[in-house]
Structure 1
Amino acid sequence: MKIAFLTDQYVTDDKNEGGVGNYLAKMGAALSKHGHHVEVFALVNHPHNTTIVNGITIHSIKKPDSILFKVLKRLILYLFSQEAYENINTIIYSYILNKAFEKRDKNIKFDIVQSTNYPQTGFFVKRKQGRKHYLRLSTSRLLFDKASFKKIKLSQKITEKIDLHCIRKADHSYSPSQFLSDYFEKKYALDISVVRPPAILYIDPAKKIPFNLPKRYLVHFGILGFRKGTDLVAEALEKAWKSNPDLKMVWVGRYSQDIGTPIHEKLEDTKERLIWIDHQPSSQLYKIVSDSIASVLPSRADNLPNTVIESLLLGVPVIGFSNASIDELVIAGKNGELVPSNDTDALAIAMIQAWDENKDWLNGNMTHLPVFDEMQAEQAVKNFLELESQ
């Protein structure tokens, strides 16, 4: 089959740490490996170009930066707000993506086009006989922004309304997690399928990393911020140090914009015990994670996070909260530990137990879970292609 993906991020872009981009790289590689023709239309900050990576044709569509566009941006910001600009910007980007896709579709005649709701890349995708439009739900602004302690503004409410419009006009909509699917079903009475992503690593861990790390450490990685529970990891870490002052931890990733002062800078006496490393290429990140004792990934709200999947694929158990879709990947005592949401005392205890190697799931003794059978590349591809029958 011929499949197109519309996205504002991909792993070849200059900001490649996004969950959507990483998912598309894995799903695209799995589809291509199983004989399907895959093309990605991605908005980027560099000039237009077309490349082929892992059998996937990637059309990099440059974001507008003309003088007229910059003047329009300033006018919108002056008359309205940053949030209003972002809403309008999303629609403009969606139009640009769809224009490039439709031009290509005249020659290729795609069987499936998949858009995302982060942002709403399928806003202008039209129904066409012989072509299916799938929409992948990556977020709910109202749900996720609340978990990030952001004040819910009119712009977020408008964005969620646009999401609902896009869901209803797509042929089929799905979420990687039951957590997000249940949210849209309960709040909006929408039937959202659950299609798991392929559990694969599209690149091997590096053999070496260009900096020194402790011999033993716990790791927290990805986007660092409130929704991902970085502040709670810091709080639990301070509690764990009271009884285990030699416990060491490595954080890898960029801070989300709403954080303000980086959280690790607020902790006292952390130079030797807590090491922060900025965003790394996937191969180096995988090396750092694979060398750790366990990953600490206590998201407040999430959507089957890539960080958890990648950690488990690298043979590293996960400590997280017993909700937010992490419990769809981790079973306490089998491949990690789950503690009640926002309970930093329990999180600290779990970190101490991992550090002291006081759990059966450590040192490569994790139990294989059935959910990962569903996420094997061949099965994930089959589930994606059979979305229409679900």
Structure 2
Amino acid sequence: MHIVFFTHLFPVRGRTTGGAANYVANIARIMAEHGHLVEIITESEFEETFYWNNIIVHKIKATRGFQDTGKQMSVVKKLLKNICRSYWYNKEAARIHKEKKIDIIQSVNSYGLALLRKRNIPYLVRLSDYPALWSGANRPEFDFNQCIASRRFDEEIQFIALKRADALVVPSVLVQQLIYDRIGKKPQLVESPVLIEEEEYTDFKESFESDPYFLTYSELNYRKEIHIVAKIVDKLLTQYPDMKYIVCGRDRLILYGNKYILVSELFQLSVTQHADRFIFMGEISNRKRMFSIIKHAKLCILPTRVDNLPNTCLEAMAFGKIVVSSTSHYKTSVEQLLIDGYNGFLSDVDNEESLYQKIVYAMQLLDADKELLQNRAMERVKELTPEKVYVKMMAIYEKTIENFKQSKQ
């Protein structure tokens, strides 16, 4: 089968760039390893075609004329950017299709890419977020119901694009239901594959590894409750004088009061008593190094306001780590992976005392109980082996292609 992936972000040469990007890398490698011809179209400031793990990667200038200036983009400009993006991705796919017939296109996250889709190629979208909810959760104040009720024009265009797809896939029950409620089209549920190569278990020697440490690694923003994490670091390091606290993730600007500051500055303002035992490492782009840091962590603290089966949680569980994350009345989607007290712990969203108490409880577990939780976490992740996900995705591809052919008769 000839499969082409669309993705606006793609990790190459051992780098990590986030959950959706890593999903593309994992699923593309799985398909290529099973003998399928796999090509990836992604965007860049320059054009380039190269091979990566037996996969052909095409970098294109998909947003030419819409360079990121750091300023907030108007709704109209966002719309035009998404239309431009759709045009260039689909133009490149048409070029490839002319040379060798494409059996199916899988777009990872939409960004309206299906708006100008080619009607002669089956088209599937795998969603990694719900636009209004994700953008709302990245603001200091978060209201789930208000985000769901949002009807911004630039977001509506993305939902119109989803309706034009032949099939939809999501990894979480939460996003599956939200999309169904919004457009009346129910996506198929396929949880993300966990693909960690044996060579990626290699240890990196870090200067802080001589001491036990708490670890938070993720996108560093309000959606990942980084403001709550910042509030509990000093309290935890006071409670556990032999521990350090490590934060990994790309330093970015967040709104703090009436101005924007870097996340690293937020921690400087918040961690005042034990700054000598707090380490802000920034983005760890080398997968092997990041996995080594996860493997040696005492506890992984990965709260979230809302998510779509977070890769950070999956990776930590794969290494047998005890994870403390979040839950709420609306469900954050982490509940799909973690059962509180069974294979991890779930605190209340945006509640620093709840998060602190769950961490303290996890730290007090007897060794036998810790081992039991760790084994259960690893067992849950075993359900997401590449082979199992491959079988599910191939069934969806084949059914989508079959339905597409029938619709053309």
Aligned partners of 2:123 and 2:302: how far apart in 1?
A: 33
Count of residue pairs the alignment pairs up: 378
Aligned partners of 2:156 and 2:13: how far apart in 1?
A: 29
Segments of 5+ residues of structure 2 without an aligned counterpart are 142-146, 401-409
Aligned to 1:269: 273
Deviation string 1:126-156 (CA, Å, 9 cap, x unpaired) is 222xx4210111112211122122797xx98
Aligned partners of 1:110 and 1:44: how far apart in 2?
A: 23
Which letter maps to 2:47? H
Deviation larger for 165-174 or 350-359: 350-359
* Cα pair distance change 1:24/1:221, threshold 3 Å: same
Which letter maps to 1:235? K
Deviation larger for 33-42 or 47-56: 47-56
Tell me if structure 1 keeps the 8 A contact 2:212–2:242: no
Tell me how far 1:219 sits from its aligned partner. 0.6
Tell me if structure 2 keeps the 8 A contact 1:254–1:279: yes
**Counterpart of 2:192 in 1: which secondary structure?**
coil
Deviation larger for 33-42 or 86-95: 86-95
Matched, 1:223 2:228: no
Matched, 1:285 2:290: yes
Tell me how far 1:114 sits from its aligned partner. 0.8
Aligned to 2:387: 378
Tell me if structure 2 keeps the 8 A contact 1:9–1:15: no
Aligned to 1:133: 123
Alignment of 1:72-91 (within 5 A): 81-91=73-83
Aligned to 1:249: 245
The CA RMSD measured in Å over matched residues stands at 3.0
Which structure has greater helix proportion? 2
TM-score when normalising by structure 1: 0.87
Aligned partners of 1:22 and 1:41: how far apart in 2?
A: 15
Aligned partners of 1:215 and 1:370: how far apart in 2?
A: 28
Which letter maps to 2:137? A
**Counterpart of 2:136 in 1: which secondary structure?**
helix
Alignment of 1:320-335 (within 5 A): 320-322=325-327, 323-335=331-343
**Counterpart of 2:10 in 1: which secondary structure?**
coil
Tell me if structure 2 keeps the 8 A contact 1:181–1:192: yes
Aligned partners of 2:79 and 2:40: how far apart in 1?
A: 23
Tell me how far 1:8 sits from its aligned partner. 0.9
Which letter maps to 2:250? R
Alignment partner of 1:313 out of 301, 310, 318: 318
Q: Percent identity?
A: 23
Deviation string 1:41-82 (CA, Å, 9 cap, x unpaired) is 01012x3222222221111113565xxx37x999xx9xx954
Deviation larger for 367-376 or 212-221: 367-376
Tell me how far 1:159 sits from its aligned partner. 2.8
Aligned partners of 1:115 and 1:156: how far apart in 2?
A: 23
Aligned to 2:98: 106
Aligned to 1:171: 166
Tell me how far 1:352 sits from its aligned partner. 2.3
Alignment of 1:1-390 (within 5 A): 1-12=1-12, 16-45=16-45, 47-63=46-62, 69=65, 81-128=73-120, 131-149=121-139, 157-201=152-196, 204-209=200-205, 211-213=207-209, 215-259=211-255, 260-261=260-261, 262=263, 263-267=266-270, 268-280=272-284, 281-322=286-327, 323-358=331-366, 360-362=369-371, 365-367=374-376, 372-387=381-396, 389=399
* Cα pair distance change 1:339/1:73, threshold 3 Å: closer
Aligned partners of 1:274 and 1:293: how far apart in 2?
A: 15
Deviation string 1:337-386 (CA, Å, 9 cap, x unpaired) is 11222232221122223344547235984215775354211110111122
TM-score when normalising by structure 2: 0.83
Tell me how far 1:180 sits from its aligned partner. 0.9
* Cα pair distance change 1:188/1:230, threshold 3 Å: same
Segments of 5+ residues of structure 1 without an aligned counterpart are none
Which letter maps to 1:104? I
Which letter maps to 1:191? K
Deviation string 1:232-254 (CA, Å, 9 cap, x unpaired) is 12223344345334442100011
Aligned partners of 2:116 and 2:379: how far apart in 1?
A: 38
Tell me how far 1:301 sits from its aligned partner. 0.8
Tell me if structure 2 keeps the 8 A contact 1:317–1:366: no
Aligned partners of 1:118 and 1:232: how far apart in 2?
A: 30
* Cα pair distance change 1:210/1:87, threshold 3 Å: farther
Tell me how far 1:14 sits from its aligned partner. 11
Which letter maps to 1:219? L
Aligned partners of 1:235 and 1:336: how far apart in 2?
A: 22
